[in-house]
Every structure is written in structure tokens, then in C-alpha cells.
Amino acid sequence: MHNRKLGRKADHRKALLRNMATSVIQYGQIETTEMKAKEVSAVVDSMVTLAKKGDLHARRQVAAFIKNVEVDEEGTTAIQKLFNEIAPSYADRNGGYTRVIKTRIRRGDAAPMAIVEFVK
């Protein structure tokens, strides 16, 4: 998909990035390893760029990638939140919708951890 393989086969890597991108859109931030965070940040940025277009073709492209099964406490899905809340808030911004913040070293395997979140 992108340049990092993350130690997974192509199908597993695509599923991992789909799930993580959906979680970032739905919850606003996630904590994961640093390499996964860099990859999912690029994916989420491209989804926000598609959502900013706002046409039906872009909605279909986003819907083909983002999982839309979970409904949050307000009753909205991840795609609805992306198109109705997130994309309009970045209407005047040209890229760089997410940031990766390095946090800690994970105990157990000493993996560097990072937080992926939307820029305010």
C-alpha cells in the first residue's frame, strides 16, 4: 500500500490500516507503535482530502476503505462524522490534518509508541 510493510502480508496490512484509520476518525486519536502511526496518519490525511471534495465519487471511495459498522454515542458512523464534522473543519487547510506525537517506550518489547490525532 505505502512504503512500509509493517511485517505483514498485503491483506493483513490493508485491514490493519483500515481499522486504525476508522478508529482515528471515530475517536479523534489512537495510541499505537511509531511506524504504524506514521502509516495511518498518511491514510487518514488522504481520507480527509477525499471527504473535502464532498461529491458522490469521493464518498464511495471513502466508503470502500473506511469500516462503517460501529455507531458512536451520538448515533453517527465514522463516514458520517468524516464528511459532516471533520472535513468542513479543515476546509481552509491544505493537508497536514493529523499529527504523530511520540510518547513512550512500551514495556515488554521496548517498541516506541506514538499518538495519532487530528490537528486542532
Beta carbons within 8 Å of 50's beta carbon, 6+ residues apart:
58, 61, 62
Sign of CA dihedral 120, 39, 100, 18: positive
Closest CA relative to residue 31, chosen from 42, 41, 46, 18 = 41
Residue 56 pLDDT greater than 50, yes or no:
yes
Residue 71 pLDDT greater than 90, yes or no:
no
Euclidean distance between CA atoms 75 and 112, whole angstroms: 35
Give me the pLDDT at residue 76, please: 85
Is residue 52 within 8 Å of residue 85, measured between CB atoms? no
Closest CA relative to residue 62, chosen from 76, 46, 74, 77 = 46
pLDDT tens-digit map of 15-30: 999 999 999 999 999 9
pTM of the entire predicted model: 0.88
Calculate the alpha carbon distances from 57 to 53, 61, 80, 95, 103 in Å. Answer: 9, 6, 15, 20, 37
Give me the pLDDT at residue 46, please: 95
